[in-house]
Structure formats: structure tokens, C-alpha cells
Amino acid sequence: MRSKFFLRLAAYGALAFLHLPLLFIALSAFFDNTTGQAWSLDNFSLRWFAQVMERTDIRDAIGLSLSVATVATLIAVVLGTLSAAALNRDRFFGKNAFTTLLIMPIALPGIVTGIALLSAFKLMDLTPGFWTIAIGHATFCVVIVHNNVVARLRRLPNRLWEASMDLGADTLTTLRYVIFPQLKTALLAGGILAFALSVDELIVTTFTAGADQTLPIWLLNQLGRPRDTAITNVVALIVMLLTMPLIVLAWRLSQEGDVNASDR
């Protein structure tokens, strides 16, 4: 019992240590640090939030990141679901190799994936921009959706397929009316995780964005501008407030889906 207590205490301590910088960023977004007394109650201010809303470069970066994440998520949901359905039941030559290739973009270092995508886009004579960023993000977002759907399909009993087929339903009808309702939470959780991952992606985006600036690239460029530290902290806080609830929601949906699957 004592060893479990210390192990749990160490785990909570490590989590607190990892998240402590996020707390500093959140606090710094509400205080005027130009006076040298960053966290004095007299310096509490919301003017940095107003300045962020007034800057068109920040609004453009946020809009581009959200648009790219939406397109990448839609592509990932479609391709991830289809690949999971194909690989879950059928056995064919090269299945393991195909699965390895599918997870390669997220398994490899981001710089390798980014260089590979940039080389492919240059061979196809594509100008880096919105669609190259979306395609680049979709390559690793597909893996997130695929893994969620495969995990849910493996927990579904085979009798659902068999009963539907025995009643005369074809494969498409079975997928639409029997299997898809069981996958809704897995798809939603995978889509939310893919969206959050796309919004935060930096390394692959650096190679595929060209002259466009997503929100992570904008934040990276701000590191060389110490006078804009407060505005940078506000934008970083916005990113945290945007992605953290999505990740928690995806986790809750996955937990609920696991409980429902086990009950059946």
C-alpha cells in the first residue's frame, strides 16, 4: 500500500511539474509585464486580449489553423474509417505491410515526414499553401481515427455482422444500420483528437506551409520578439483553451464507448 501511495504521488508530482509552465503562461497573459512587476495586482489587465483581437495577423493565423484542421479532420475521418473497416475483418497479402505504411507518418519524426511531403509536393509541382498543409496534416490524422475505429471494431461481437447477414442485409446495409451506430463515439473521439492535433502541429506545417502562417508558426516567429511576450502568452492561452477541452472530451467519449461495448 505504501509503495502504491508513493508511486501515485510521484506520478502526480511529475504531471504537476510538466504542467507548471502552462500555469505561468496563463498568469502572464493577464498582467502588464512592461513595468517590471509582472504579477503585481496593480498590473492586472485585459488589454492584451483586446490587442490580440485587433491584430489581423493573429486572426488570419487562427482562421487558417481552424480551416486546415477542419479539412484534415474530414479527410482523416473518411479515410481512417474506410481503412479500419478494410483491415479489421479481411485477411490479404501485404496486410501487415499496409498497416505499417499507414502508421508511418505519425511514427516517424515530424521532420522526416515534413521533408518527405515537401519532396512529394515538389515532384507534383504543387505550390505550398492551404491544401498542402491540409494534406500533410491528414497523413497523420488518419492514423488517429484509424486506431480509434479499429479498437472499437475489435470489441464488437461478430454476432452483429452474422445476425444482420442472416436477416438478408448486404455489407453496406450492415455497415450503415448496425455497425456505424456502434462507431459514432469512436469516430467523434478520433475526429476531435485529429482536430486538436492539427491545430497544434508545427514541424510538418513548417515544411508544407510556404508563405502561409498557421497559429503554431506564428507563435514560433514570436519567440524572436520579446516586446510582444504578453501578446504571445495570450495567444498561447487561447490555443490551450481551444485544445484542452477537446482532448478531455475525446477521452470521455472513448471511455463511454468502452463501457457500452463491454456491456454488450
Between these two residues, 142 and 21, which has the higher pLDDT value? 142
Between these two residues, 193 and 40, which has the higher pLDDT value? 193
For residue 79, give the nearest of 155, 33, 135 by alpha carbon. 135
Of the listed ranges 43-47, 70-74, 97-101, 199-203, the one predicted with least confidence: 43-47
Q: What is the CA radius of gyration of the chain?
A: 22
User: What is the model's pLDDT at position 41?
Assistant: 61
Indicate whether 180 belongs to any domain. Answer: yes
Grid cell listed for 160: 452483429
CA atoms of 134 and 26, how far apart (whole Å): 29
Residue 63: pLDDT over 70: yes
Indicate whether 35 belongs to any domain. Answer: no
Regarding pTM above 0.85, the answer is no
Indicate whether 252 belongs to any domain. Answer: yes
Indicate whether 25 belongs to any domain. Answer: no
Indicate whether 3 belongs to any domain. Answer: no
User: What is the model's pLDDT at position 90?
Assistant: 66
DSSP letter string over 71-138? HHHHHHHHHHHHHHHHHHH---TTHHHHHHHHHHHHHS-HHHHHHHHHHHHHHTTPPSSHHHHHHHHH
Share of the chain above pLDDT 90, in %: 17
Cα 256 → chain centroid: 20
User: What is the model's pLDDT at position 67?
Assistant: 94
Q: Model confidence over 151-187: pLDDT tens digits?
A: 888 877 777 777 777 777 777 777 777 777 778 888 8
User: What is the model's pLDDT at position 138?
Assistant: 92
- Number of structural domains found in the chain: 1
For residue 254, give the nearest of 192, 201, 197, 198 by alpha carbon. 192
User: What is the model's pLDDT at position 64?
Assistant: 93
For residue 69, give the nearest of 210, 205, 237, 234 by alpha carbon. 205
Q: Residue 44's beta-bridge partner residues?
A: 31
Of the listed ranges 7-11, 43-47, 110-114, 193-197, the one predicted with least confidence: 43-47
Indicate whether 249 belongs to any domain. Answer: yes
CATH of the domain at 150: 1.10.3720.10
Indicate whether 195 belongs to any domain. Answer: yes
Burial call 189-199: b when 16+ CB within 10 Å, e when fewer: bbbbbbbbbbb
For residue 192, give the nearest of 263, 257, 115 by alpha carbon. 257
Indicate whether 31 belongs to any domain. Answer: no
Confidence of residue 73 (pLDDT cuts 50, 70, 90): very high
User: What is the model's pLDDT at position 259?
Assistant: 47
Range of the domain at 132: 47-263
The DSSP symbol for 29 reads T
